[in-house]
Structure 1
Amino acid sequence: MLVLLAFIIIFHITSAALLFVATIDNAWWVGEDFYADVWRVCTNGTNCTEIGDHFEGYATLQAVQATMILSTTLCCIAFFIFLLQLFRLKQGARFVLTSIIQLLSCLCVMIAAAIYTDRRQDLHDNNPRYYSLTSEGRYGYAFILAWVAFAFTFISGIMYLILRKRK
């Protein structure tokens, strides 16, 4: 049982780490001379411009930002609630509250990645300042990590739903 508990804790911490990296790192859309995420666009590795009101589609990026932050926050809250339930739940009870919060985290990261996937072309093509750079790019590793974090948080949420407290 102790090995299972250690695996679940490590899996949850890995999920949270993936969410932090995907949220913070500047590699959602990359090319030869630029990289971009939901926070800024950088050219030549040093010229970084914060994405603000001047950016076409800023409201869409704000939705992605908000859901990624919410997902990361919910994942951390779920971990602390799991630790509390580990000591407070009666024997045989399920970790339902932890599961619900983790599945909400999963839903938020899925929404963020799906919005970015759907609107990525509109975001970069409607901004003439960046169009010449960003039109020839590909999804970066932070974007891929967001989808991997989705899978991890989903599996983690299901594990908590199935898991019962034992001695």
Structure 2
Amino acid sequence: MAFLLMSITVLHLVTLAMLFIATMEKSWWSWGDVENTDLWYKCIFDNSSETWMCASASESEWLQSVQALMILSVVLSSISFMVFLGQLFTMSKGGLFYFTGLCQLFAGFAAFAAVLIFTFQRKEILQDIRELEMGRFGFCYILAWVCVPLLLVSGALYVHLRKRA
């Protein structure tokens, strides 16, 4: 039981860290090593100064919905972890972690909706005159996709987890 509890806790913390990185880091769409776009900024690499020059991403309703859903996912997952810790010490023996599991499941659904919107509406979100075929999805986008099943699995595990001691 202690191993299962520790494994779920580590899974939750790892997923929360990956979700936070996917939300805040700058690589949802990439045009090679010279330009990256994320949920917040569009960055271009300046060869003369060898630094990244970033400007705010152009606002669109689709981008704002992706931003809101990713933030909602991080917040729900954080709340889920804090509630889990509280329930761990205050819940009576035999209780189930329903609220924790539901928060985690909703965090997974929010992240899933965000990456789906970015996938299908990237042309409107990026608003770039260049061909999208020249670019590719960045590592933060892939990280967000990896978080979706991890959030859903951990949410399902929390719903079925029963406090023994």
* TM-score normalized with structure 2 length: 0.91
Identity fraction in percent = 36
1:90 Cα deviation (Å)? 1.4
Structure 2 residue ranges without an equivalent (≥5): 46-50
AA paired with 1:24?
Answer: M
Please list, as runs of the form range in 1=range in 2, the aligned pairs for 1:24-39 lying within 5 A after superposition: 24-32=24-32, 33-39=34-40
Please tell me whether the aligned partners of residues 62 and 124 of structure 2 are also in contact (alpha carbons under 8 angstroms).
no
SS in structure 2 opposite 1:132? coil
SS in structure 1 opposite 2:134? coil
CA distance in 1, matches of 2:133, 2:145: 22
* TM-score normalized with structure 1 length: 0.90
Q: Which residue number in structure 1 is paired with residue 56 of structure 2? A: 50
CA distance in 1, matches of 2:15, 2:148: 8
Please tell me whether the aligned partners of residues 34 and 133 of structure 1 are also in contact (alpha carbons under 8 angstroms).
no
Listed one character per residue, the Cα deviations across residues 41-95 of structure 1 (whole Å, up to 9, x for unaligned) are 1112522110244xxxx11100000010010011000000001111111111110
Q: Which residue number in structure 2 is paired with residue 64 of structure 1? A: 66
Q: Which residue number in structure 2 is paired with residue 21 of structure 1? A: 21
AA paired with 1:143?
Answer: Y
Listed one character per residue, the Cα deviations across residues 102-123 of structure 1 (whole Å, up to 9, x for unaligned) are 1110111001101000101233
Please list, as runs of the form range in 1=range in 2, the aligned pairs for 1:136-147 lying within 5 A after superposition: 136-147=134-145
Instruction: State the Cα RMSD in Å.
Output: 1.4
AA paired with 1:102?
Answer: Q
1:2 Cα deviation (Å)? 1.3
Q: Say how many residue pairs are matched.
A: 159
1:133 Cα deviation (Å)? 7.2
CA distance in 1, matches of 2:97, 2:110: 20
CA distance in 2, matches of 1:146, 1:153: 10
